[in-house]
Chain A
């Protein structure tokens, strides 16, 4: 898929901001940022309350995503342009999510909310009201998702790409450094996983690097892009960012996101764990 079919820049957004068939969707950890202000006409998605099952540890079911998107006024034939904070981590997660449920035309706004703010572009606090739709989702496309057994079977045979920071990979930190370092998991990484932090795919303003730079990044780290690749992080949103880079920008099809990621793997009993800066042995 061509880069311009999955990624739009701020200039494109400004031209299309009032197109009723193009829906801008802000995705954040909580709605505080969206409620304070957002791109004119954008609807908000709450990562925590709207995109997690709430009872099971899982993404929401097909019926729930249909109800959610219908209520937000998103139709099957709308172009959905996602953006958000944290350098588009949660927007990339929502992108993966919408693709999992079969939405055709989904794009990311390059640089997300950060670039929009740093460029001084307009943000409004008016609530957005879109007429409800009757959204119909497909069944989950499991070819985009990996589970814990897929990861265990991939040790030493497939590419495992740990996209967390080097300190989380090595086991010196248990969470990103904007969070307190208290969790129930052990520290470290899946043996044989290489560490290519998501941030190496992005510029300081949150935009993605060029295709040539991105190819050089993964190939330079020894990833054989001809093999199946599983990306993971701590909870699956930073790895959605890398999944987006590999599958959507570079067009490599056999890439999955392990959304259970380290919060699941690091809590499993009787599985191998590597610590330190080296990938470790199978």
Chain B
């Protein structure tokens, strides 16, 4: 049984057929560069929580969404931000979020 746990930075795309996924990924930075301590949260179009991952040491995150409108919430010490994004099947939406 696979866990519901979130992998740091998000699950690797290795061995994942991205043509069947609607991937949302990116990097969260502040003025000093990518943020290693923090979280990326995915909310749906109604603002409801869908998933959250701890950032990798390079500030990276990745989600496997469904086609549609989503919001990525960046949670880092001392700040939060919200970024709207559209996901499509077989596409990778790449975000560069700076707080």
A→B interface (CB under 8 Å) = 28-30, 32-33, 47-48, 52, 57, 85-87, 89-90, 114, 117-120, 165-167, 172-173, 175-183, 197, 199-200, 204-205, 233-235, 237-238, 263
Contacts and interface: CB of A to CB of B under 8 A. Distances in A.
Nearest to A52: B1
Contact of B64 (A89, A181, A205, A237): A181
Interface residues of B, number: 37
Contacts of B21: 180-181
Given A118-B76, A166-B44, A235-B1, A178 B6 contact: yes
Which 7 pairs between the two chains have the least Cβ-Cβ distance? A29-B5, A199-B49, A177-B51, A178-B51, A165-B50, A176-B51, A29-B3
Interface stretch (B8-16, B26-34, B90-98): B8-16
Given A167-B66, A180-B16, A181-B66, A85 B5 contact: yes
A234 B20 contact: no
A172 B52 CA distance: 18
B46 A178 contact: no
B38 A118 contact: yes
A129 to B, nearest CB: 26
B81 interface: no
Contact of B39 (A28, A114, A165, A235): A114
Contacts of A119: 77
A214 B29 CA distance: 34
Interface string B52-65: 11100000001111
Contacts of B52: 86-87, 178
A29 B54 CA distance: 13
A120 B1 contact: no
20 contacts: A47-B5, A85-B5, A86-B4, A86-B52, A87-B52, A117-B77, A118-B75, A119-B77, A166-B44, A166-B48, A172-B66, A173-B66, A176-B51, A177-B42, A177-B51, A180-B16, A199-B48, A233-B4, A235-B1, A238-B4
Nearest to A118: B77
A235 B63 contact: no
B80 interface: yes
Contacts of B20: 181-182
Contacts of B73: 204
Contacts of A29: 3-7
Contacts of B11: 178-180
Contacts of A28: 5
Contacts of A205: 75
A130 to B, nearest CB: 25
A102 B76 CA distance: 38
Given A118-B75, A181-B64, A176 B50 contact: yes
Given A166-B44, A179-B11, A181-B21, A197 B49 contact: yes
